Structure 1
Amino acid sequence: MPAPEDLPGQMASTAPEGFRSGFACFVGRPNAGKSTLTNALVGSKIAIASSKPQTTRHAIRGIVHRADAQLVLIDTPGLHKPRTLLGERLNDLVRGTWTEVDVIGVCLPANQKIGPGDTYLVGEIANLPRKPMLVAVATKSDLVGPQRMAEHLMAISALEEKLGIRWEHIVPVSAVGDDQLDVLADTLVSLLPEGPPLYPEGEITDEPEETLVAELIREVALEGVRDELPHSITVVVEEMNLREGRPAEKPLLDVFASMVVERDSQKGIIIGHKGERLRDIGAAARHQIEALLGTPVYLDLRVKVLKEWQRDAKHLNRLGF
């Protein structure tokens, strides 16, 4: 992570006294609500959310602007048992991020019992040489009643003695129900160091638009596909430019993108019968891109086969992993 003085747009002279700024990330099992929580706090969709495990593949920063603070949330991949070189690189990215943030929010869904995956994850954080402060986030509070929530909070508290950690706070939240998000934001901000803003006012992410567009396309492609296919899909935006010769009041953004899979059989699944699935993906992705960028979009979407790209260092380097 760059040092604050290296970050673009630092506004050292504009920070009021007592202003706080820093980094936090959410961790948790697949489908624990990490990306949904990040998007809810940022107030805009900058991280893709899916029920498929290992959906997130990049450390994407979302920026929360407040009068008293600037909170930079990093949405990271989930820690998992790697089966490929890609998996190993993603785990390295996760552990590297953990050592550099000020606060880690551990997402523990209230509608699920704390299991071995949760204790493994928290145990890994406990073993870090430099330990960030920890906040337990009881996500999906809207799905349980008071009795179940009380049991869940007691189980979360018990992890302190079991794993030798210390929760700075335990906060129940519902990103979907917009319940206690303000409390969570206040909690995270209270744990940040004092310092100037790191990004200009109004900037919600430092990710290139091409990366966000590629991730939106991949999110749409992931829905409804077979269990073994999600890990094999990545998306590359080949070209993205405003079309020349259009009047200023009627812009059109041309996006040329490729969905990359590992086998010809996977290409067939993505394309679907007579190209129906590919057309559906293109239409849904185009609407999401237009909502993100606020510009009408022409999306040219293709499917390419790059054999065993998850296991090939050259392919991974070329694809940005």
Structure 2
Amino acid sequence: MSQPPPAAHHAGHVAVIGRPNVGKSTLVNALVGANVSIVSNRPQTTRHRLLGIASVPGGQLVLVDTPGLHREGGRLASSALNRVLNRAARGALEGVDAAALVVEAGRWDEEDALAYDTLRASGLPVVLVVNQVDRVADKASLLPYLQRINEGREFAALHPVSALKRTGLDALVASLLAQLPEQPPLYGEDEITDRSQRFLAGELVREQLMRQLGAELPYATTVEIESFTEEPSPKAGVMYRIGAVIWVEREGQKAIVIGKGGTRLRDIGKRARERMEQLFDAKVFLQTWVRVREGWSDDESALRSLGYGDS
């Protein structure tokens, strides 16, 4: 008796696009099954292009997590940092096979329209992901909302989901795979990101800055990993010794990050170290410093030296 042909395997790159703070990184983490992208309640948490690799039955999604697209104008939006972030978001469309446009359930504003127009101009198939449906108390209001944003626009598929609660994701995965070419996996099944542990360490420190400081966090704050070495550990097998510099633009910002008696900086370092040990599955010794570099967020050469604009 002849065997049925094997099921087709689909693999390719999907750009995850949307305005700031709609849950793009939470969605990528949920699909990958690991926290490869940092998340917080602050807009523009994601500042670098990052690949999250989701290997699933029948295919592999290589998800390109990007900074949120926003309109130019205003002091922050016109800074060199924000110009770099917008270029990174738009650059994510190069060489991808499809796009997921992520919006917040019940909301569609000019920045959502900007993201949609950018995607349609690219000619990519666009899957609309309506995220955070768990926050909508009146579920009956979703249908007219979906009809309104679908009118006059072309989507390959439309999926209401909750990335946080991980609901609606199976159907979304099936729709995304359908947009991808038939080909073998692009990465090994055990790979979850293209970024190095050194890069992820810096992001985990920055994540804790955003979570611990909240509204107090100076916008012009970034993290540079100054040293990253590996050494044997009698108990854990391996230990990473990491030195992280937190850059701000003014002395007053430095005081905010350090906190009274250094308590805030110690707490940031402790929580970041715990997250690193969980992700790296190794012992971590982390040292942190706060330093001042005036005007770095509006200096493109300084941004390049700090890793902004790197693919």
Q: CA deviation at 1:241?
A: 1.8
Q: Deviations over 1:195-226 (max 9, x none)?
A: 12111121001101111111111011012436
Unaligned ranges ≥5, structure 2 = 1-5
Matched, 1:140 2:127: no
Q: Deviations over 1:284-309 (max 9, x none)?
A: 11111111111121110111111111
Matched, 1:153 2:146: yes
Moved more, 114-123 or 58-67: 114-123
Instruction: Check conservation: 1:39, 1:45, Cα contact below 8 A.
Output: yes
C-alpha RMSD of matched pairs (Å): 1.7
In the other structure, the counterpart of 1:107 is: 102
User: Does the residue aligned with 2:52 lie in a helix, a strand or coil?
Assistant: strand
Matched, 1:316 2:311: no
1:241-260 paired onto structure 2 within 5 Å: 241-244=229-232, 246-247=233-234, 249-260=236-247
Instruction: Check conservation: 2:42, 2:214, Cα contact below 8 A.
Output: no
In the other structure, the counterpart of 1:122 is: 116
Query: Partners in 2 of 1:68 and 1:230 — Cα distance?
Result: 44
Instruction: Check conservation: 2:61, 2:177, Cα contact below 8 A.
Output: yes
Query: Partners in 1 of 2:21 and 2:111 — Cα distance?
Result: 12
2:254 to 249, 254, 267: 267
Instruction: Check conservation: 1:85, 1:313, Cα contact below 8 A.
Output: yes
User: Does the residue aligned with 2:238 lie in a helix, a strand or coil?
Assistant: coil
2:276 to 264, 289, 294: 289
User: Does the residue aligned with 1:170 lie in a helix, a strand or coil?
Assistant: strand
In the other structure, the counterpart of 1:214 is: 202
Letter of the aligned partner of 2:112 in structure 1?
A: D
Matched, 1:86 2:81: yes
Q: Deviations over 1:16-56 (max 9, x none)?
A: 66211101122222221111000000000000112211111
User: Does the residue aligned with 1:74 lie in a helix, a strand or coil?
Assistant: strand
Instruction: Check conservation: 2:258, 2:265, Cα contact below 8 A.
Output: yes
1:46-61 paired onto structure 2 within 5 Å: 46-61=36-51
In the other structure, the counterpart of 1:191 is: 179
User: Does the residue aligned with 1:289 lie in a helix, a strand or coil?
Assistant: helix
Percent of counterpart pairs with the same letter? Answer: 38
User: Does the residue aligned with 1:63 lie in a helix, a strand or coil?
Assistant: strand
In the other structure, the counterpart of 1:173 is: 161
In the other structure, the counterpart of 1:19 is: 9
Query: Partners in 2 of 1:240 and 1:42 — Cα distance?
Result: 26
Matched, 1:71 2:61: yes
User: Does the residue aligned with 1:174 lie in a helix, a strand or coil?
Assistant: coil
Instruction: Check conservation: 2:12, 2:60, Cα contact below 8 A.
Output: yes
Q: Deviations over 1:142-190 (max 9, x none)?
A: 12232122122112212xx1xxx41010101011222111111111011
Instruction: Check conservation: 2:246, 2:291, Cα contact below 8 A.
Output: yes
Query: Partners in 2 of 1:305 and 1:240 — Cα distance?
Result: 21
Query: Partners in 2 of 1:133 and 1:33 — Cα distance?
Result: 21
1:202 to 186, 190, 196: 190
Q: Tell me the TM-score normalised to structure 1 length.
A: 0.87
